[in-house]
Structure 1
């Protein structure tokens, strides 16, 4: 049995690609070190619309992945051979799933109730649905969606800073001697995975801090001002 964070990023910022490319190896090492301190077995690097292989000298599994920006929302692709790059908004969710399966990867609905209508697509053959660590209060809604679609739940922190790793993670049940990308994909497809949300004092502190930040930024609350087709349900907060 392994505990792995299936949604994490190696840079603190978006854009400025050349600067980010230089920083990514450092970010991957910091991410892996934070994963080890959290007591997790591994972490998937799922940068937005590109994949770079990383091999930091840390005793945790750093698993290949990518977060694809489709025309309806984000799809996580994890496994042995994720696509090296995708054009944001150019793929439909169905095309992203097909691409994932062609490359022996699992396709996961990322943060289904934040900036996404991917959850509305009933005919797309996803492998799992994510409980996102930035929005733990939406877990009952995600569980209901997964039950309706008969899909397993996985967990990912959506970390952009190393200290966020493990806010949500996935328990992987496998007899494999080590957590390989292929063993992970097999476990997801067989439903031998489950989602967990971090409940440590650090996790509680982060949630309070992010809620305060978003209140100051006057983030729109879906209860008061829902955005048609996209909105955020009650409880969807950091």
Structure 2
């Protein structure tokens, strides 16, 4: 089945300019995502321009390539690839299955969109003002940082994303994260090439490691203090 799909994709691409997303759009998982998105006030652009033609808000319409970028960044922890090759993330069957797996709870896709939208809103109002290119360079890395920080884990399963409490991702928290990620971005040269590099991701995880270690130390001290209080009573 996978081989035949690859043949179809290759043959189609060599003859026409049909987007890869259109060839994937009839897969069952995309039907499930579309149904679930509707229940959450989102419109999955599985059928190109279908919801646009119905007059739905562009901000609520989520394309397959865009969702692929989000999941690649926050679930696979590869925001550099989200930035570097948005149109080819689902071209390869193996990579496609990592993004759109039947093993994933459909809610991770909604949660991912919610987090990404919050990030992009904050980036547009960030001070000092960021250019369109800078926003593009930072948005997926910031989203990944927020997810890992919320879960307090450097490695996590995609399904854990559904457990993130969106109410805890406040504008203040996002702004703080943007500042941290931008400092790393600037230290590496603040270029589009940096955003597409593994070095940027590695540096971000280095910072996350420090934050998570501090959090664990705090919890440890809290636990010891609580234990002492109990023993003294």
Which bin holds the TM-score, normalised by the shorter protein? under 0.3
TM-score by length of 1: 0.26
Higher relative contact order (CA 8 A, sep 6+): 1
User: Could you say which structure has the larger radius of gyration?
Assistant: 2
The answer to which structure has the higher helix fraction is: 2
Report the structure, 1 or 2, having the larger strand content.
Answer: 1
